[in-house]
Amino acid sequence: NILQIYLKKVETENDIDVDKIAGMTSGMVGADLANLVNEAALWATREDKTRVSMDDFEYARDKVLMGAERRSAVLSDEEKRVTAFHEAGHALVAKKVRGNDPVHKVTIIPRGMALGVTWTLPEDDQHSLSEEQVLGHITKAMGGRVAEELIFGKDNVTSGAASDIQQVSKIARAMVTQFGFAEELGYVDLANEQQSYLGAYQGPSS
């Protein structure tokens, strides 16, 4: 296991859950995992710890995947409220709609370009997705925008769903062009014919 090789290079707490870290880092390559362990160790050092804990790996995962915390980002109380309802929408849909993985973490701490994020993690390794799972991911992705509309009204929905819409568009294209989930088109691979436009769907994210 590549992850275990990198973990041996740092002092960790006794309760480190390697399987959980592996689930948190699904899709990462060796260089990403090395960076993750290094970031976790650096953060632990900054916190005056002698061993790296699960919290440190959580922090490192968020930083590697989304960027450092934007401490300079000063959000108004209203922006925080909107973001909280947006992320709650994602989490609620993930919890209630079949095909979604269990909710792992919800935060409204700004990172990278995101004001908040809802993480879901599979309970077991996943190498393929059913149509139910793909539709579940689409529904979860739009849960944030729907929550904003229900709470604040259609005219007050923010642009916070931009990345969600990009994700949903990519998944929907993949359903039609890669996965054979469109009965009208049948089992035809259209992605390779129009790769520069369609891209390739790699799997669910936040």
The set of catalytic residues is 87
Closest to 94 (Cα-Cα) out of 104, 84, 83: 104
Each as own residue / partner, the long-range contacts of residues 18-27 (CB below 8 Å, 24 or more positions apart, any chain) are 20/54, 21/54, 21/57, 23/121, 23/122, 23/123, 24/57, 24/58, 24/61, 24/104, 24/119, 24/121, 25/61, 26/121, 26/122, 26/125, 26/126, 26/203, 27/202, 27/203
Quote the CA–CA distance of 153 and 145 in Å, as a whole number. 11
DSSP state of 203: -
Q: What is the SS3 assignment for 53?
A: coil
Q: CB neighbours of 13 closer than 8 A, spacing ≥ 6?
A: 51, 52, 53, 54
